[in-house]
Amino acid sequence: MDRRQFLLLGATAAGVSACHAFPGLEIPVRVDMPGMALGHQLRDAHAWPAATEHRDVDTLILGSGVAGLTAAWQLQKHDYRNYLLLSGPEPLGNTAYGDAGRGLRYPKGAHYLPFPTRSSTHVRELLADMGVLVSGEHESHPYYDEAAILHAPDERIWADGKWSPGVIAPVAAHSESARQQARFFRWVEQLKTQKGSDGLRLFDIPLVLSSQDDDWRRLDMMPFSRWLDQQGYTDSALRAYLDYACRDDYGAGCTHVSAWAGLHYFACRDGHASNGADGGLLTWPEGLGRLTQWMYNRLPAANVMAGSAIRIQEGQHNVTVDVLAGKTRMTIAARRVICAMPLHVLKHLVSLSDYGFDVPQQMPPHAPWLVTNLVLQGFPPEKDGEPLAWDNVRAGSDGLGYVVATHQWIREAMPERTVFTAYRNLPQFSPDAARKWLLAAKPADLFDAAMVDLDEVYGRPRLWRHAQYAEITVRGHAMATPAVGFLHNAGLAALRKQDGRLLFAHSDLSGLSLFEEASWWGYQAAQKILG
């Protein structure tokens, strides 16, 4: 019996609650709310110091998330040099990652990419440039670097006291539940290749390349849950899974999400690989930070500046952007500006109604998102059933499960340290109420909320034996929710079309928060600059 076991014995005997009374026994919890301070100052019309410096540039990119970096990568690739990327409050944005030392990286946001569709030429180009897509960039089944393809075992679900394969709680064969599940997946499988009256795929990525066929776009006007009811998809295990999928990608459950978006989730993912089974995906220990960091590393230091835009004014001949860089304030005059930041921030910097976007009526709801990284010394013991997988979910949970950051490592032995990344949002609240709760919550409350799945499947004392520290990244406005009617949002359509001095690039323009969408708009903006 070692020291930890003695401590554990004492801790358990004294009761878990006692540990709350002795803060020294708690795992250190670090809470990070990227961009919040600046965002709230902008909202509250903070008084900024006067500008002391001035700079001119041809193209200014505001933001270093997926959209901004994709735009910069394209400009750089086409030998366009007169640009400046302003990194914004959080470099790499929603794909930021952390490092727990000795090469142990973990995601603080988005963490995987399904095999790109044929229409996602922009993503395929990026992967090919990186060497992740080895050959067949323009074919239906490209050959990918297998190290990046998600390794087996990919997923498992905790239901009835044991782990089963898959992400749907197991049901009896030949039961009504099994029939409904089979019917649903047959249906979406068929939708994957089905085309509308205009010859385009019904559901595609990027979303704007989907069919305009009104017979299908009409689905956008009802909630996904109603459509499921109408179609007789009432099985509770199936519905729990569909709700999980919507919360995971859209930040809200089936009752909020548009039926078109609900089907898009399943039917759009028609990418293949010649060396991986259909439905596979690409992932890295640091999540999608691998992609954005690669693009970032390509940019010359002179073309990148740390700082954030606080005001944008379009003039006769150029655009003036007020910038906060550390403590100094400066103005940058640019011929054209790519606004690669979320709309809920951008609305405080520029009057969006001038560009056809009505903020009160057309702003998509943004759902909050908690990413909790638990750094572990050794792996906690596993319970019955399937072994530890990449994605581990719990049936009927408010949480979204946890992902193992070292899963893609190729090693002889289990690594000495690992990171479990627990994802969670707060669907029981409206986005506004959830943000209020997040603002008021103490680190211990956030930690408890983040631990709903890990507590249940390991028990907190067992995790304590291994946990070194936890890092919670709170993203108050993490993702746009494709609510009912999002596809018909005329304001978003207007921003997408802009081709003047101000260009817009963000996944918000698609109304849903996917890497492929963000990167598509970054790519489009760069093409507009390059002409």
Partner 1 sequence: MVDRLLVFSVFVVASCGLAYELIAGALSSYLLGDSLLQFSSIIGCYLFAMGVGSHFSKYIRDEDALTRFVDIELLVGLLGGISAALLFVVFAWLSAPFRSVLYALVFLIGVCVGMEIPLVMRVLDRQQMALRDLVSKVLTFDYLGALAVSLLFPLVLAPQLGMIRTGLLFGMCNVAVALWTTHLYRQHIAASTARLVKGGVILGGLLAAFLYADRITHWSEHGLFGDEVVYSTTTPYQRLVVTQWKDDLRLYINGNLQFSSKDEHRYHEALVHPLLTSLPWARQVLVLGGGDGLAVRELLKYPQIEHIALVDLDPAMTQLFSTSPRLTALNKGSLRNPRVTVVNEDAGQWLEQHSRMFDAIVVDFPDPSNFGLGKLYSVPMFRLMSHHLAEHGRLVVQSTSPYFAPRSFWCIDATLKEAGFNTWPYHTYVPSFGEWGFILAGKTKDFTPPAKYPIPLKYLDDDETRRMFRFPADMSPLKMEPNRLDNQSLVHYFEQDWHEVSR
- Site for partner 1, rule CB under 8 A: 1, 5-6, 8-9, 12, 145-147, 149-154, 275-277, 280, 387, 409-414
> Considering beta carbons, is residue 236 or 377 the nearer one to partner 1?
377
> Considering beta carbons, is residue 80 or 409 the nearer one to partner 1?
409
Minimum CB separation from partner 1 for residue 169, in Å? 22
Minimum CB separation from partner 1 for residue 175, in Å? 27
Minimum CB separation from partner 1 for residue 139, in Å? 18
Element (H, E) at 73: helix 66-77
Q: What is the dihedral of CA 149, 153, 154, 155, to 10 degrees?
A: 180
- Look at the alpha carbons of 255, 189, 394, 472 in this order and tell me if their dihedral is positive or negative: negative
Q: Strands 502-504, 417-424: parallel, antiparallel or unpaired by DSSP?
A: unpaired
> Considering beta carbons, is residue 1 or 21 the nearer one to partner 1?
1
Minimum CB separation from partner 1 for residue 343, in Å? 37
Structure tokens, 328: 């100094």
SS (H, E, C) 113-158: EECCCCCCHHHHHHHHHHCCEEECCCCCCCEECCCCECCCCCEEEE
228 HSE (CA, 13 A, CB side): 28
> Considering beta carbons, is residue 275 or 351 the nearer one to partner 1?
275
Minimum CB separation from partner 1 for residue 18, in Å? 16
Degrees to nearest 5, angle at CA 236 with 232 and 239: 70
Round to whole Å and give the CA distance between 383 and 410.
24
> Considering beta carbons, is residue 12 or 527 the nearer one to partner 1?
12
> Considering beta carbons, is residue 275 or 428 the nearer one to partner 1?
275
Residues with Cβ within 8 Å of residue 170, at least 6 apart in sequence: 157, 159, 164
Minimum CB separation from partner 1 for residue 384, in Å? 14
Q: Strands 112-114, 281-283: parallel, antiparallel or unpaired by DSSP?
A: antiparallel
Asked if residue 341 lies in contact with residue 323, where contact means CB atoms within 8 angstroms, the answer is no
> Considering beta carbons, is residue 78 or 162 the nearer one to partner 1?
162
Q: Strands 328-339, 319-325: parallel, antiparallel or unpaired by DSSP?
A: antiparallel
SS (H, E, C) 393-441: EECCCCEEEEEECCCCCCCCCCCCEEEEEEEECCCCCCHHHHHHHHHHC
Structure tokens, 81: 């040099």
Minimum CB separation from partner 1 for residue 510, in Å? 28
Minimum CB separation from partner 1 for residue 416, in Å? 8
> Considering beta carbons, is residue 26 or 145 the nearer one to partner 1?
145
Minimum CB separation from partner 1 for residue 413, in Å? 5
> Considering beta carbons, is residue 18 or 147 the nearer one to partner 1?
147
Element (H, E) at 13: helix 3-14
Minimum CB separation from partner 1 for residue 378, in Å? 9
Q: Strands 502-504, 467-480: parallel, antiparallel or unpaired by DSSP?
A: unpaired
Structure tokens, 530: 């390059």
> Considering beta carbons, is residue 407 or 506 the nearer one to partner 1?
407
Residues with Cβ within 8 Å of residue 8, at least 6 apart in sequence: 461, 464, 465
> Considering beta carbons, is residue 50 or 410 the nearer one to partner 1?
410
Round to whole Å and give the CA distance between 75 and 133.
21
Round to whole Å and give the CA distance between 450 and 424.
6
Quick check: bond before 461 cis, omega within 30? Answer: no
Closest CA to 431 of 252, 303, 308: 252
> Considering beta carbons, is residue 145 or 229 the nearer one to partner 1?
145
Minimum CB separation from partner 1 for residue 285, in Å? 12
Minimum CB separation from partner 1 for residue 192, in Å? 19
